[in-house]
Structure 1
């Protein structure tokens, strides 16, 4: 069963993937070519939240074992409430450990079965767990939300799920994302942790 064995996709072991602690200043924005942003938005694993046709699109690349991604997830409901015109896109970017890869497999299996409409509760549940989030723990969290364990295990171990993860890694690599979390806001990338206020400032910047 893929959820319990140490499997890492080729190329996922990036150096320097740990984000610095949240500082007073937000990461410096970096201009991103539009076609690379379009590639990220076209990922089959991308989970769209918030406004379906928002005036600003914000993409977050995250890892379920990244402590600063946990802070981002905790603030996500407040961000969506404060920014009703925002389209928010989640991209699983399992780069920190084999456990992250296995957890992402379980999460993507749940996404494939139940769609983006049911994904946010799982996302928040995984980030509410203490300690390392691995495949079995992610699978158990998904089961508590009504997920079919047998079907999720089958899908987690499928070539389609592997392909989804490879595609997400490829787009993150093309974008030069060397830390989790990383954000695309409008046409700019912010690599590293951001507070809720910093995100809202960046969204306002994107609106011009």
Structure 2
């Protein structure tokens, strides 16, 4: 564990500097002091573990504060970009923003649990951010979903988005055509719309937002101003929603 020598060195140097400032030591006295500190730490290693625990807690608190600031600073882009699909209760008292990639295994795992949360709660607004980061198939799937929304509207987008999240086949023009036909959608019109500049602009805007918010993986959730990076089980999501309501 690399943090142990780092923390030990930090503790030694800080304590030594403080001692020198109060009463300058000779080289021999300094060496003796170091030996005493080392002996104490070897005899009482639990002191190091306690210090490490404090350090990790402070780091976690700092990360939470940073993420809250990022969510607040980017609130307009998160919740009112003029394009992203809004589901659940549009007037809900809690807003969840989810950054998704259709080829992400954890997004697929979270998908039915997010749906259950939205349906069972009844007072949550859910905003989906297309965030393809796992390769060409991810990009192709997001372009198809966005093009569906542009050509066929929100309901069709939701159908296609759900279908893409559960589709096991490779994402190809043929598999996307089959998906669209399964929902009685005009596959040719959607495929043509995928080439529109607006489609790429939306993906670029989401990637820019993700970069500003230091998002490097999917799924990433923002519950009002609380950011959660990675898969969250249903029970924990419910706890987060309840905490956000209580804070509000």
Structure 1 and Structure 2 fold alike (TM over 0.5): yes
CA distance in 2, matches of 1:135, 1:192: 29
Which sits farther off after the overlay, 38-47 or 175-184?
A: 38-47
TM-score (norm 1): 0.81
Cα distance, 1:81–1:95 mapped onto 2, change above 3 Å: same
| Consecutive unaligned residues in structure 2, runs of 5 or more | 1-62
2:137 to 99, 120, 123: 99
Matched, 1:197 2:235: yes
The DSSP-based 3-state class of the residue aligned with 1:58 is strand
CA distance in 2, matches of 1:197, 1:138: 33
Any idea what the Cα deviations from partners look like across 1:116-158, whole Å, max 9, x if unmatched? Answer: 2332222221122125434542342123112212211111011
| Consecutive unaligned residues in structure 1, runs of 5 or more | 1-27
Q: Is the 8 A contact 1:63 1:93 kept in 2?
A: yes
Q: For the pair shown, which has the larger CA radius of gyration, 1 or 2?
A: 2
* Matched residue count: 181
For CA contacts below 8 A with separation 6 or more, give which structure has more relative contact order.
Answer: 1
1:113 to 151, 162, 171: 151
Q: Find the counterpart in structure 2 of residue 81 from structure 1.
A: 119
Cα distance, 1:102–1:182 mapped onto 2, change above 3 Å: same
The DSSP-based 3-state class of the residue aligned with 1:157 is coil
Which sits farther off after the overlay, 41-50 or 99-108?
A: 41-50
TM-score (norm 2): 0.68
Q: Find the counterpart in structure 1 of residue 79 from structure 2.
A: 41
Q: Is the 8 A contact 2:71 2:227 kept in 1?
A: no
Shift of 1:53: 1.2
Q: Find the counterpart in structure 1 of residue 15 from structure 2.
A: none
CA distance in 2, matches of 1:132, 1:202: 34
Matched, 1:185 2:223: yes
For the aligned residue pairs, the C-alpha RMSD in angstroms reads 1.7
